[in-house]
Structure 1
Amino acid sequence: MSYFTAHALSCVFKQHSTQQSDTTLFSDLSFHLERGEIVDLTGPSGSGKSHVFMALALLDPHASAKLTLEGKDSSSFTPESWRRNVVYLPQRPVLTSDTVLDAILLPFDFSINRSVKGLGPQTAKPTAKQIRNELDELGLDDVELVRNPTTLSVGQQARVCLLRSLMLRPKVLLSDEVDAGLDSDSSEKVGAVLQSAADHTGMAVLRVRHRDSDGRASMILSLAHGRLSRREMA
């Protein structure tokens, strides 16, 4: 039994006018992720990669799929608990708090993360020292915890959002081009942090990437013209 599975994954834009036909972005896609595995999703712009991610996180009203996590169907989860376990990290970072520290700690005040089932000892609210150390690992040693997130570059904001997601200890992380626009050294640090999280927590990682392979993905999924192809990596 696979750790995370997606079957019959489809995205169709319905037309309200009878004069126009529905638009199918992709249909009947299937793949699976194993515990601790990193898989890359590639494909041309507009092929639907972000819609795949939103569908997997139950965030796309145009999409449908049969999804399972650790053998449990997504229908057995509430939408909130599913998104707590299957975290979508969008391409455009969103940080609304007044400081970097508050932005990272914000989700820990949500009820789904304060509940016994939603937040176990392994995902206890991190300390400022832990956050400082993790920011340094991501190459953000020059970003102060008291700094306003709006003053950060897009690449810095993306890495702060990544750290926030990782500290929630999701079972599946959907990372949409988090290293886009980063220099090679910063991109390597992001990859190393994701690899460490996958190795130590068993988190499965699905990444949208347009960079050359960094050798961490066990498989490359390519989406084009509504079809999904697979390439196993040595």
Structure 2
Amino acid sequence: MLPNGSQAVWCWIMQYVFSASNVSCVVPVDGEQRTIFSGLSVDMKLGEIVDLVGPSGSGKSSLLTAFARLNPNAKGDFQLEGRSASEFTPQQWRSQVAYLPQKPVLIGSSVAEAIRLPFTLAIRAGEGKQGFGRKWSSGKSLKPADLLPDARIRATLDAIGCADIDLGRAPHDLSGGQAARVSLARTLLTSPKVLLADEVDAGLDDENADKVASIMAQAAERGMTVIRIRHRPPDGRATRILTLANGVLQSANAPRTTATNDSNDFAAQSDSMQGAQA
């Protein structure tokens, strides 16, 4: 039994999956140091969806890359499930706090190979994890396709409006919108605890943007925390809106709108794969 004070601290820690405090970003401009923002703080609950909005140039992408420890011009204090970022290697942190850029880079000779890249790297590094969460038999030689079968990739792509993308297609033949959704599928399949999505619905028509939003909402229902940079009108998925402007971050409840959620393929496929791996 923890002392009452310790219990209170523990409960406070556990209600947030991700916390950031004293976050600043200073960039060199024409030989001088320009402060984009400083002293920003935010806490994210398990399974929460938060929209990050603000004028162009306000530092939204800089803030997300700071959270992912990808921004060399930013610093701050970050915690994941009550553990300091200093307890993680950069690679470990980024596998759990995943940044999804608006213009992704897809490496590989095919879409399937590009999506399996994180699993390929995990095997090469000898991390001993199956599907980024389960131990495999020490004597068994595995391939990325063993960890991420074609059927699971296909189901995920179909659910986000990419039924027309063949798994053998070369990534460089994809349109910008297709590449963004393939990158989203790859990130979701690695099951990070926090997803930092940088305008992944930019350039999509309303129907496909809604499919992408539905997939993120399903991931949030399963416990993934999502921060989305968006320029579209509120879609009813977010619980909060963070507005970054003039170096100030303000939080407000998201307006309630009716959101459609017609796609359950990703959730169903996730359930079946978890059952197979258990």
Look up the SS of the partner of 2:56 in the other structure: coil
1:121 aligns with 2:134: yes
1:223 aligns with 2:244: yes
Match of residue 20 from structure 2: 6
TM-score, with structure 1 as normaliser:
0.93
Q: Which runs of 5+ in 2 are unaligned?
A: 1-12, 136-145, 257-278
Which of the pair has the greater relative contact order for Cα pairs under 8 Å at 6+ separation?
Answer: 1
**Partner deviation per Cα, 1:101-124 (whole Å, 9 max, x = no partner):** 0000111011387514682139x8
Match of residue 102 from structure 1: 113
Of the two, which has the highest radius of gyration? Answer: 2
- Is the 1:86–1:174 contact (alpha carbons within 8 Å) kept by the matching residues of 2? yes
Match 1:131 to one of 128, 140, 153: 153
Relative to structure 1, the CA distance from residue 229 to residue 142 in structure 2 (aligned partners, 3 Å threshold; closer, same or farther) is same
1:168 aligns with 2:182: no
Dislocated runs of 4+, deviation >6 Å: none
The aligned length equals: 229
Q: Report how far residue 149 of structure 1 moved.
A: 1.1
Relative to structure 1, the CA distance from residue 9 to residue 117 in structure 2 (aligned partners, 3 Å threshold; closer, same or farther) is farther
- Matched residue type, 1:226: G
In the alignment, the residues of structure 2 paired with residue 73 and residue 16 of structure 1 have an alpha-carbon distance, to the nearest angstrom, of 35
- Is the 2:49–2:237 contact (alpha carbons within 8 Å) kept by the matching residues of 1? yes
In the alignment, the residues of structure 2 paired with residue 114 and residue 222 of structure 1 have an alpha-carbon distance, to the nearest angstrom, of 41
Q: Report how far residue 100 of structure 1 moved.
A: 0.4
1:46 aligns with 2:57: yes
- Is the 1:58–1:83 contact (alpha carbons within 8 Å) kept by the matching residues of 2? yes
- Is the 2:107–2:117 contact (alpha carbons within 8 Å) kept by the matching residues of 1? no
Q: Which runs of 5+ in 1 are unaligned?
A: none
Match of residue 23 from structure 1: 34
1:79 aligns with 2:90: yes
1:214 aligns with 2:235: yes
TM-score, with structure 2 as normaliser:
0.79
- Matched residue type, 1:95: L
Q: How does 1:65-76 map to 2 (within 5 A)?
A: 65-76=76-87
Q: Report how far residue 198 of structure 1 moved.
A: 1.2
| Fraction of identical pairs, as percent | 47
Look up the SS of the partner of 2:116 in the other structure: helix
**Partner deviation per Cα, 1:163-195 (whole Å, 9 max, x = no partner):** 000000000000000000100000000011011
In the alignment, the residues of structure 2 paired with residue 186 and residue 114 of structure 1 have an alpha-carbon distance, to the nearest angstrom, of 37
CA RMSD, Structure 1 to Structure 2 (Å): 1.8
- Is the 1:108–1:114 contact (alpha carbons within 8 Å) kept by the matching residues of 2? no
